Amino acid sequence: MYDKVRDEMKKQGMSTNKLSFRAEIAQSDLSCALNGKKPFYPAWRRRVAEALGVPEDTLFPKQ
C-alpha cells in the first residue's frame, strides 16, 4: 500500500525495525500501517519522512 515508503527504505538499506526506532513508532504499528491494516496517522507520516530524510509529500502524496 505504501510502496514509496518501502522503496525509500530499500534504497537506504533500512529495515522496518530500524525505521520504527528512528521514527519512534512501535515496530508492530509501523508494520500494520505499511500493510494497510492501520492508518498512517499524520504524526507518523511526519516522523517517518524525517527518519528517511525525504519530504513528507513525496512519500505520502495527497489523494
- Report the length, in residues, of the chain: 63
Residue-level pLDDT at 49: 96
Cell of 59: 512519500
Task: Indicate whether 63 belongs to any domain.
Answer: no
Task: Indicate whether 40 belongs to any domain.
Answer: yes
Q: What is the CATH number of the domain that holds 24?
A: 1.10.260.40
Q: What is the pLDDT of residues 5-63, one digit of tens each?
A: 999 999 999 999 999 999 999 999 999 999 999 999 999 999 999 999 999 999 998 75
Number of structural domains (the chain) is 1
Q: How many CA atoms lie within 13 A of 14 on its CB side?
A: 19
Query: pTM (2 decimals)?
Result: 0.90
Query: Which domain, by its residues, includes 34?
Result: 3-54
Task: Indicate whether 61 belongs to any domain.
Answer: no
Residue-level pLDDT at 2: 81
Task: Indicate whether 39 belongs to any domain.
Answer: yes
Separation of alpha carbons 21 and 32, rounded Å: 15
Residue-level pLDDT at 54: 96
